[in-house]
Structure 1
Amino acid sequence: MVLTLYGKPMSTCTRRVAVVLVEKQVLFKFVPVDFSTGEHKTPEHLAKQPFGQVPYIDDDGFIVFESRAICRYICDKYPEQGTSLVPIELKAKALFEQAVSIEGSNFDQFAAPAALEKWFKPNKGLKGNDELAAALLSTLDKKLEGYEAILSKQKYLAGDEVTLADLFHLPYGSLLPKIGFNGLEEKPNVARWWKDITSRQSWLAVKDGIEETA
């Protein structure tokens, strides 16, 4: 059975999973969830994703939700397929886990809520909190100084090989210029890294949305 990804074509977290599926060369079926009709709140959806969110995967009856958990599952299931993305050697894996923590603690918790205020709310006809967004983006810009220090010594966040930790940045990072934040392009080593990961064929394949498959 082909692994099935359920989500929204342009959802940040759905595309986070899709980019890893493409990077790992995993064939998958994509089934869109229609938020406009409240499909994500139906009993059928909630039975698979109890928070009424996307994405989730169905791998021959095995259900996993939360995008980062799905990505790790994919890498564990297909370790020899496509790009490695998760190192095995003890010290390399420790640096990978460190990089994953960096993304969660120093990037996502600022980029995601800023995007909510400046992008998602306005696109739903709601008023965002510009003052909150500005504060979040100011903090993010300072956090990127740490990224610059790390990336001045190595190609990617966990070392010289790309990992999940780098790819996890793609969906929200790609939204930042749309809300007026260009911090990923203003620091030389961050800019070099960002150009590198946004140029990967896996991201180019999904960045503008995921097509439904029959």
Structure 2
Amino acid sequence: MTITVYGSYRSTCTKRVLTTLHEKGLKFEFQPIDLSKGEQKDPKYLEEKQPFGVIPVLVDDGFQIYESRAICRYLELKYKDKGTELVPTNINALGLFEQAASIESANFDPYASGIVFEKVFKKRKGLGEPDEAKVASLKEQLNAKMDVYDTILSKQSYLGGQVFTLADLFHLPYGTLLVACGEGSFFESRPNVKAWWNRITSRPSWIAVKDLE
């Protein structure tokens, strides 16, 4: 078994995949893609790895797949018997997992990634100063979403129920960047969200990945 990840340690999507690999206890090789040099847009990379010119890409014994959430689901399905079970098999629990995964993609990621782009990535990419009006709008919307999170998490330990799943893991990269850019109140100001956030950020898999540069 040879697993290779093509990506960047600074990439949120790459960190999502690396965290999953650690949760599953899988060994892997890492092939860095230098985003600052535009290696992800190289014609060979576009043809052979990722036609949209983004990262990460995972190659597993010759099988190739891209899109970070798809990669994470693939790893869980193929290596179900390894490490942490990250997607339940019971039909009801699976339904609640899919619900939680949809919550993350619809109610967290668009707002968190938008704030992080304005406050972190925009400057990193030399695209100017943050659009403060846009940040304020995104924060208002995300605050409303996190109020609902707090209600959900008052009844259960994790977003999909009582066990940690990919739905929780998917929050880690952008959530951590929110905290790093001074927006930790999304988590700290809500008791149930705070307890959940502390649980998921203290996992050894995330500790192993979060500070990689």
* TM-score, scaled relative to structure 1: 0.95
Q: Within the alignment, does 1:163 sit opposite 2:165 as a pair?
A: yes
SS at match of 1:136: helix
Aligned equivalent of 2:85:
84
Instruction: Compare relative contact order (CA 8 Å, sep 6+) and give the higher one, 1 or 2.
Output: 1
Q: Within the alignment, does 1:190 sit opposite 2:156 as a pair?
A: no
By how many angstroms is 1:133 displaced? 1.3
SS at match of 2:156: coil
Q: Within the alignment, does 1:142 sit opposite 2:158 as a pair?
A: no
Distance of 2:146 and 2:27 partners within structure 1? 35
Distance of 2:106 and 2:35 partners within structure 1? 29
Q: Within the alignment, does 1:200 sit opposite 2:203 as a pair?
A: yes
Q: Provide, for residues 86-128 of structure 1, a one-character-per-residue CA deviation record: whole Å limited to 9, x for no partner.
A: 0001100000000000000110010011111111001222222
Distance of 2:77 and 2:186 partners within structure 1? 33
Distance of 1:109 and 1:92 partners within structure 2? 25
SS at match of 1:134: helix
**Equivalent AA in structure 2 for residue 198 of structure 1:** T
By how many angstroms is 1:41 displaced? 0.8
**Equivalent AA in structure 2 for residue 7 of structure 1:** G
**Equivalent AA in structure 1 for residue 152 of structure 2:** I
- 1:51-66 counterparts in 2 under 5 A? 51-66=52-67
**Equivalent AA in structure 2 for residue 172 of structure 1:** Y
Distance of 1:37 and 1:98 partners within structure 2? 38
**Equivalent AA in structure 2 for residue 153 of structure 1:** K
Distance of 1:135 and 1:184 partners within structure 2? 18
Q: Provide, for residues 10-65 of structure 1, a one-character-per-residue CA deviation record: whole Å limited to 9, x for no partner.
A: 10000000000000001111111012222111122112111110001011221100
* TM-score, scaled relative to structure 2: 0.96
Aligned equivalent of 1:103:
104
Unpaired runs of 5+ residues, structure 1, are none
**Equivalent AA in structure 1 for residue 200 of structure 2:** I
By how many angstroms is 1:179 displaced? 2.7
SS at match of 2:85: coil
Distance of 1:199 and 1:59 partners within structure 2? 28
Q: Within the alignment, does 1:133 sit opposite 2:131 as a pair?
A: no
- Which of 172, 175, 181 is residue 173 of structure 1 equivalent to? 175
Distance of 1:130 and 1:74 partners within structure 2? 39
**Farther off after superposition, 31-40 or 160-169:** 31-40
Q: Provide, for residues 60-95 of structure 1, a one-character-per-residue CA deviation record: whole Å limited to 9, x for no partner.
A: 221100000000000001101100010001100000
Aligned equivalent of 2:121:
120
